[in-house]
Chain A
C-alpha cells in the first residue's frame, strides 16, 4: 500500500515524469473518475472566462441602461439586468477575475509561508520545531473567516491584504503537511543516497523530498482554492471586500439583497456561479485525494458526478 502511494505521487507530482507512459497513465488517472471530468471542465471554463474577461462579454460592464432597469432575463440580457440596467452576465464574467485573482494569490501565499515554516521545523527539530508547532496551533484556534474579517476591516481591503487575510489561517495546514512529509521522507534511502553524494540539505529538500510529497499538497491546494473563493465572496458580501472598480460575486449578491422581491435573478445567478465553481474545486480535490489515499476510496462524492 505504501509503495503504491509513492508510485502515484511520483507519477503526477514529479516534473521529470514527462514520458509518454506517464502521460498515458495520467489520462487513465483522470478518466477513471467522473469527478475529474465534470469538475475539471468547469474549472477550465472558469479559468478561460477569467482570463479572457471583458473581451467576450456581451455588453459593456459599467454603462447603465435605464430603459432596462431590473430587467428579467431576455434574449439580449440572458441573466437579466441590475438596478441601473447593467448586464448581469457581463458582471458575472468580470467577477470571475476578482475571484480567481484573490483565491490564487491567497492559496499561493499560504503555501509560500507555510511550506518553509514546516521545512524549518522538521529539519531543525528541537526547540525551533516546538515553537513553530505551537504558533501553528495558535493560528488554528482562530475562526478563519472571523480573523480574515478583522484583518481586512482593520487594514482596509486591498488585493494583497485579502491574500494575506485569507491565507493566514491556511498556513498551518501547509506547514504541517510539509513537516510530516519531510519527517517520513527524511529516513528513506534516496535521501541517504543524495546526502552521500554530498548534496546540500536545501538541495535535497527542494530537488529530492519536495517532488515526493507534492501529492497531498496538490490536494490541499485544490480544496483550499474552493475555501478561498468562498471566503472572498463572503467578505465581499459583508461589505469588506474589494470596492469599485473591482466586481466581486459577493458584492453583486449583497447589492441584490434589496431587490429580492422584484428581481431575484440578481441574487440567484451570481450565487449559482459561485456555488458551481466551489463545487468544481471540491469535486476535483476529493477525486484527487481518493486516488492518492486508497483507504479513502469510494468516499464522499465519488458517484455524484
Chain B
C-alpha cells in the first residue's frame, strides 16, 4: 500500500520535472547577447574567428531545432551534467557541490535552531492563549514576517560584531580546521536564518495546537483523568508536531532564497554566495546550475516530507 503510494508520488514527479526544466531552459533563452559569444567568454566586443565561432555553435548544438536542444540538454541534466562553468573551467555540478557543505551547515543548523525555539514557544503561546506571553509570541511572529532578512542580518552585524565585538562580521572557517572559530563564524548567519524560519513555525505551531485542543481525543484524555500537562505536552504536542513537520518541509523553497541573502550579507561561502558571484561574473552556466540545484532540493525535500508524513500519521489515506 505504502509502496504504491510512493510509486505514485514518483510518477507525479515526471510532469513537474518537465515543467521546471522547461522554465529554466526558456529563462536561459532571454540572456541578452549571443550565447556562443557568451560561452566563448567573449562578451565585451572581443573578436572571434569564424571557425571558432561555428565550432562552438555546433558544439553547443545551437544549429539544432529548439525541441532537440531542450531534449539534449535535459538528457545531460538527468545524468548530472549541468554544463561547464565559464569562469571555473570545471563541471558546474562540481563547483556547486564544493560549496554545498557550508550551506548545509547553515540550513540544517538554522532549521534545528528554529524548531527548538518555535515549538516550545508556540505551545506556550497556545496554552497561555491571550496572555502577555501569547502577545509576545505574536509580536515576534509579525516582526519576523515584516523585518527584511538582509536588514536583520545587518543589524545583527552592527550589534554583535561592530558594537560588542563578540563575533566576526563575515567569513567562514571549516569545522575540521578550528571548531570554535567555525561556531563563531556561523553563529550570526545561523541565528538570522533560525529567527526567520522560527516566526513561521511558531505561527503554525500555535494555531495547530489551539485547534488540536478542541479535538475529541483531548476530551477523552481528560476524562480518563490525565493531568493537563500530560494531555498538552504528550497527546496534543505529538499530534501537532505532524503539522509542524510539514510546515518545516514546505519552507524549503523559501529557505533557499533566505540562504542566498544571508550568505551574501555575511560573505559566507555557500551556494547562495556562489549564485550571486556567478551573476556578477556572468557565469550563466553556474547560475542556471544553482537554480536547478535548489529546485531539485525543494522537490526532493517535499517528496521526503510527503512520504514521511504517511509514516508519522497512519490515518492518512494513500491516494
Contact = CB atoms under 8 A, between A and B. Distances in A.
A93 interface: no
Interface in A126-185: 134-135, 137-147, 149-151, 153-156
A300 B260 contact: no
A146 B260 contact: yes
Interface in A13-65: none
B16 A134 contact: yes
Interface stretch (B154-162, B181-189, B311-319): B154-162
Contacts of A240: 279
B284 interface: yes
A174 to B, nearest CB: 18
Give the interface size class of chain A: 35 or more
Given A144-B253, A230-B148, A271-B148, A238 B291 contact: no
Contact of B15 (A134, A226, A238, A271): A134
Contacts of B107: none
A73 interface: no
Interface string B120-159: 0000000000100001001101110111111100110110
Contacts of B141: 300-301
A109 interface: no
Given A230-B148, A304-B138, A143 B256 contact: yes
B62 interface: no
A252 to B, nearest CB: 11
A19 to B, nearest CB: 35
B154 A257 contact: yes
Given A149-B275, A154-B287, A271-B151, A282 B261 contact: no
B30 A139 contact: no
Contact of A138 (B16, B158, B276): B16
B279 A149 contact: yes
A233 interface: yes
Contacts of A237: 148, 150, 261
B15 A142 contact: no
A279 B146 contact: yes
Given A137-B19, A301-B142, A143 B279 contact: no
Contacts of A300: 138, 141-142, 203, 207
A283 interface: yes
Interface string B279-297: 1100010011011001100
Contacts of B43: none
A275 B148 contact: yes
B20 interface: yes
Contacts, number: 158
Give the interface size class of chain B: 35 or more
Contacts of B203: 300
A261 interface: yes
Nearest to B129: A298
Interface string A266-305: 0110010011101100110000000000000001111110
Contact of B158 (A226, A264, A278): A264
A164 B82 CA distance: 26
B103 to A, nearest CB: 13
A89 B165 CA distance: 30
A66 interface: no
B157 A145 contact: no
Contact of B23 (A138, A144, A153): A138
Contact of B162 (A238, A261, A299, A302): A261
B257 interface: yes
B32 interface: yes
Contact of B20 (A142, A155, A260, A301): A142
Interface of A: 134-135, 137-147, 149-151, 153-156, 226, 230, 233-234, 237-240, 250, 253, 256-257, 260-261, 264, 267-268, 271, 274-276, 278-279, 282-283, 299-304
Closest 5 pairs between A and B when the two form their complex, measured CB to CB: A138-B19, A145-B257, A143-B256, A271-B151, A279-B146
Given A150-B27, A279-B146, 9 more contacts: A137-B19, A143-B256, A146-B290, A149-B276, A154-B287, A156-B32, A250-B150, A271-B148, A278-B145
24 contacts: A134-B16, A138-B19, A138-B20, A142-B295, A144-B257, A147-B27, A149-B260, A149-B279, A150-B279, A155-B32, A233-B148, A234-B150, A234-B261, A237-B148, A253-B151, A256-B154, A267-B155, A274-B148, A274-B151, A275-B147, A276-B146, A278-B145, A278-B146, A303-B135
